[in-house]
Amino acid sequence: MEKRKIYIITTIVILTMLTALALWYAYIIRQEVSIGQSSELDLYNTTQELSGRVSGSTGGQTSESSTTVFGTPYGDTVVSNTSTNETVTNQDGVLETNILATEAYIPESWSLLQLHQSATAGHLTEDDSVLFIDTKTGTLLENTLDGETTNMTTDTIPNLIKSYFIDTNFILLVKSVGAPIIINTSNDRVQTLYDTVLQVSQTDNAIYYTTPNATRGITLKKISHESVKAYDVKPETVWTSNLSGWLLQATSASVVLTQKASYNIPGYSYLLPGGSNKATLTTLVQDAPSLITNISQDAKSLLYSTVDNDGIHLYLKNLVDNTVITLSTKTLASKCAWGGDSSTFYCAVPDSLPSSTLPDSWYKGQVGFYDSLWRINAQSGDALELAGATNLDIIDIQVKDSVITFKDKTDQSLWAIVKDL
Amino acid sequence: MRYIFISIVVILLNTSSVVEAASFNSVSISTVPEYPKPGEATSISLQSYSYELQGLPISWYLNGVFFKEGIGLTKISLSAPGLGSATSVKAQIGNITNTTLEIRPTTVDILWEADTSTPKYFLGRALPVDSSNIHAVAIPHLGNQDATNLIYKWYINGRFLKNLSGANRNTIVTSSPKLYDDYFLSLDILDNSGRTLGSNGVKIHSTEPEVILYNISPLLGVITYNALGAATIQESSIERTVLAVPYYFNTPSIGNLSYKWDIFNAEYIQDIGVDSITITDAQVGAGVSVEITNPEALLQSSHTAYRFKNYESLHNDTYGNGDYQSPFGSSE
């Protein structure tokens, strides 16, 4: 009898434990499904604030995950996250979704590398190497991301301001003295560009640049890569303006023209479709204080930042349906870069913001930032910190699969973070 | 701010000449706001001095599709269509008359910048100062409408700028506000029949000129990404050439600016008209100050100062534009 009692009790205990185990497992599965369902629908019905070091969406539920620690080049990084939601309609009738946070991430480890200690005039990120131009000497170098840097050219080109890689051979060099040149580094053949070049942006098949015109404004010109490679450079006028203060960013099908920004002064941004001088400007953002823009290469999404008395604000605009999402990431849009398409972007986020008028004081070199580098999913709002609390003021970010390169604005040195395999 | 044009077409269709005459003059239709923005909530209402509209059945149609009806329903609300689109709104008042209006939002942007100095590759806006000029450009967005031969009427604080206004005058150059002052630059655009298509306005504020010091590197050129006083960069020698960069001085005067340099604690020099100065190793611990003035505009003046320390601790001080303190008085 006693044995039978013990047998029954033992059976009950085992069944209870199995039930608890099953419930726990079901809970875990549900959490994973919830994470996997971070979607556009979630985003527009709910909002997530990127307030933690890692964030994502869980269908609008507010939740707090456990703190996780993983290694970074700066030591261990604390990973945590929270979430809340808010969806509003702005004065233009545009739906604005404030991204509030959540959880879930796959642990990743990235290593920070300094590729070049001296000032770098421009760089091109390849799959397993980075080509760059040393500002002091004008020489082309290659770093294979394993600590090896090789001189690819030996000729010195003085007075270099900036360089733009057309491909691995052809490079546009803008100098403080003399006309800009396009050099073919494989044979040292040089083509001179008889224009003063102010701003440059390029696509896979063309270079766009602004040059001063006789009316005190600027002319936007275009050079096809094809003509460069045929040694037959003939700049084609695309657009003219009676104003000179424009920044440009070209995509394969259009050029974004944004007024130069100043603290709390309204700015406008336009899309010039098709690269045609007869095309009509389409407004992207209007009347926004301290406006800075950053369009994705597929021209489907636009990051833009504003600065007013309340600080920096970063927005994500869907250019297909014109919805605007307010991101809680506080950085300037020029400190971000898009991934290969409009699904992911990377932002250098200042750990603290100086109490000065931005972006003017930053442009003038009067203030600088210490940034962390984040990867953000444009659909779900999931954000992952790739490098935390650096002492770098990150600019000119380029993304190539598992390699992200950038410059430190303070001394123009070249850096990379590489995903550890 | 975006400003809008509504083309209002009133079409009265009646069965008798008596009613036709009465209805044409007696029912008006209007919108609030008068020029709705694209997507803006807009109310449309009927007014009549001839009919008691409150007692009449009124049916509303949007683009020919029934929308609402009711006895005395003289007011409806809707969202204005997007830029380049139009919404036709028709009100049928019993079997007496009907009236139609078309909402076709348009906008005009006013973009401006000052004709003041900034470094060639500076990414920020050129700002207005006392005695500088403002360049303003109007960019109309009329959808599919013809944007040529528009009449541009410009105003400053409501004062009509007759000499700057007229057909195709979409760009103007005018004086900036006085120092620390501001004004409201506004614009109406009209078609060649005199109909107002839209308007806009923007507040413009004058700031003060600024001078910022940068190192000139023999190999790198001017280090404009890092102002003296902004960040500590360890260098092996104090010897350097410093460039004074004038921000927001009149561009046409840029070649005539006066530079007054002081180097103190080591030796004293004064130089006029040179925008850079070389500090030698013998002047370790020295400070340098510069004042830039525009002899063609009395209020365009600015000064700044910077103290060099020794090699090991190149901490720096800047005394800020318009808030000058003599480095002589500081104890380092």
A260 touches chain B (CB under 8 A): yes
pTM (two decimals): 0.78
Domain assignment of residue A244, yes or no: yes
Indicate the residue of A136, A137, A161 with minimum beta-carbon distance to B121.
A161
Cβ within 8 Å, pair B227-A364: yes
Residues on chain B touching A265 (C-beta within 8 angstroms): 125, 127
Domain assignment of residue A291, yes or no: yes
- Please, are residues A208 and A248 in contact by the beta-carbon 8 Å criterion? yes
DSSP H stretches of helix in chain B: 17-26
Tell me how close the Cα of B316 comes to any Cα of chain A, in angstroms.
12
How far is the CA of A222 from the CAs of A216, A217, B259, in angstroms? 20, 17, 40
Query: What is the model's pLDDT at position B51?
Result: 85
Tell me how close the Cα of A242 comes to any Cα of chain B, in angstroms.
7
Per-residue model confidence as pLDDT tens digits over B8-29: 333 333 222 222 233 344 789 9
- Please, are residues B36 and B105 in contact by the beta-carbon 8 Å criterion? yes
A70 touches chain B (CB under 8 A): no
Q: Distance (Å, rounded) from C-alpha A354 to C-alpha B37?
A: 37
Domain assignment of residue A9, yes or no: no
**Beta pairing partners, A373:** A348, A387
Name the band, by pLDDT with cuts 50, 70 and 90, for residue B280: confident
Cβ within 8 Å, pair A260-B125: yes
Per-residue model confidence as pLDDT tens digits over A145-158: 988 899 999 889 98
Average pLDDT per block of 10 residues along chain A, 421 residues long: 69 74 55 30 27 35 26 30 40 43 59 94 94 95 91 90 94 93 93 95 94 94 95 93 96 94 96 72 93 96 95 95 92 95 94 89 95 93 89 95 94 93 75
B194 has a pLDDT exceeding 90: no
Domain assignment of residue A3, yes or no: no
Cβ within 8 Å, pair B221-A161: yes
Domain assignment of residue A13, yes or no: no
Number of domains chain A contains: 1
- Return the DSSP state at A56: -
Q: Distance (Å, rounded) from C-alpha A307 to C-alpha A362?
A: 13
Domain assignment of residue A11, yes or no: no
Quote the tokens at residue A253.
């099908």
The residue range of the domain holding A202 is 36-419
B147 has a pLDDT exceeding 70: yes
Q: pLDDT exceeding 90 applies to what percent of chain B?
A: 48
- Exposure letters B204-231 (e unless 16+ CB within 10 A, then b): bebbbbbbbbbbeeeebbbbbbbbbbbb
Domain assignment of residue A30, yes or no: no
Cβ within 8 Å, pair A93-B1: no
- Please, are residues A85 and A62 in contact by the beta-carbon 8 Å criterion? yes
Q: Distance (Å, rounded) from C-alpha B151 to C-alpha B167?
A: 4
Indicate the residue of A161, A162, A281 with minimum beta-carbon distance to B139.
A281
Tell me how close the Cα of B302 comes to any Cα of chain A, in angstroms.
16
Nearest-CA neighbor of A264 among A350, A356, A335? A356
Q: Distance (Å, rounded) from C-alpha B123 to C-alpha A200?
A: 12
Cβ within 8 Å, pair A359-B214: no
Backbone torsion region of residue B264, taken as left when φ is above 0, otherwise alpha when ψ lies between -120 and 50, otherwise beta: beta
- Please, are residues A383 and A375 in contact by the beta-carbon 8 Å criterion? yes
Indicate the residue of A216, A283, A366 with minimum beta-carbon distance to B141.
A283
Domain assignment of residue A31, yes or no: no
Per-residue model confidence as pLDDT tens digits over B41-74: 999 999 988 888 899 999 999 999 999 999 999 9
Closest alpha carbon within chain A to B234: A411
Q: Distance (Å, rounded) from C-alpha B18 to C-alpha B47?
A: 20
Residues on chain B touching A286 (C-beta within 8 angstroms): 2, 107, 109
Name the band, by pLDDT with cuts 50, 70 and 90, for residue B238: low
Residue A60: CATH number of its domain: 2.130.10.10
Residue with tokens 């479709």: A273
Per-residue model confidence as pLDDT tens digits over B154-165: 999 999 999 999
Cβ within 8 Å, pair B227-A247: no
**Three-class SS of residue B54?**
helix
Q: What's the first-to-final CA gap in chain B, in angstroms?
A: 51
Query: What is the model's pLDDT at position A160?
Result: 93
Closest alpha carbon within chain A to B118: A364
Residues on chain A touching B141 (C-beta within 8 angstroms): 283
